[in-house]
Amino acid sequence: MMKENYFDKVAKEWNTPKRNSASEEIKEIILNRLEGERDLSKIKVLEIGAGNGILAMLLSKHFYKIDCVDSSVGMREEFLKNKDEFSADNVFIYDESFLDNITEKYDFIYSHRVFHHIADVESELKLLKKLITPKGKFYLMDFCTIPAEFHKDFPDFDGHNGFSEEEIRTYFKNTGWKLTNYEIIRHGKKENIEYDIFLAAGEI
């Protein structure tokens, strides 16, 4: 029997004030870190695991275009509704097979709270290396190590309980990404569990 996609089930309720204000914060963090880079309005961007697309919509007016991928059909539907609502004509959503067929390269690739759902992190990082321009930037944002209890409501969770800084350094090293910066960018709390979000910046 095919495994149900958890994100298809929660997609319609993903838009919460808490998540939206986190997306606002992440938008500011991204723009602040990219300040001084070449003209952002000319650069092509790729987001991995965009969910309902709120972060991409908030960023859209700053970039030339943002291509997004997400493996959940429910999230992709919500993305398209939000795209209409935001009138964000330069954001696009695809399923994950899009990554296997792309011929263009991106000047900036980012991902927020997604990699802990990806079993084979190194394969994904190797794939993204092929999609970035020589001077491009990659921002991987995700949970620092969290207790297994964090995903107790996620049926058959088979991802990672966040990542330690050492794990991230090892993944980057093993896949040939240069880690140019590692920092904690946010603190949060889910029920009684406190968590941190890191940003690992990479270049090839």
Ligand X SMILES: C[S@@+](CC[C@H](N)C(=O)[O-])C[C@H]1O[C@@H](n2cnc3c(N)ncnc32)[C@H](O)[C@@H]1O
CA separation, residue 14 to residues 11, 119, 184 (Å): 5, 22, 24
3-state helix, strand, coil in the chain (%, to 5): 40, 30, 30
Please select the residue that binds ligand X; options are 46, 51, 68, 151, rule is CB under 6 A: 51
What's the closest the beta carbon of residue 12 comes to ligand X, in angstroms?
12
Contact with ligand X (CB under 6 A) among 43, 58, 72, 139: 72
Report whether 185 contacts 199 (CB < 8 A): yes
**In the bound complex, what is the minimum distance in angstroms from residue 36's beta carbon to ligand X?**
25
**Tokens 């943002």 sit on residue:** 66
We find the least distance from the C-beta atom of residue 125 to ligand X, in angstroms, to be: 12
| 49 scored as a contact of ligand X (CB under 6 A) | yes
Site string for ligand X, 12-41 (x = CB under 6 A): -------x----------------------
Phi and psi angles of residue 17, each rounded to the nearest 5 degrees, phi first: -55, -35
Of 96, 117, 192, 120, whose CA–CA distance to 160 is shortest?
Answer: 117
Task: Give 4's DSSP letter.
Answer: P
Q: Segment near ligand X (CB under 6 A), from 47-55, 58-66, 85-93, 128-136? A: 47-55
- Interface residues with ligand X (CB under 6 A)? 7, 19, 48-51, 69-72, 75, 96, 112-114, 117-118
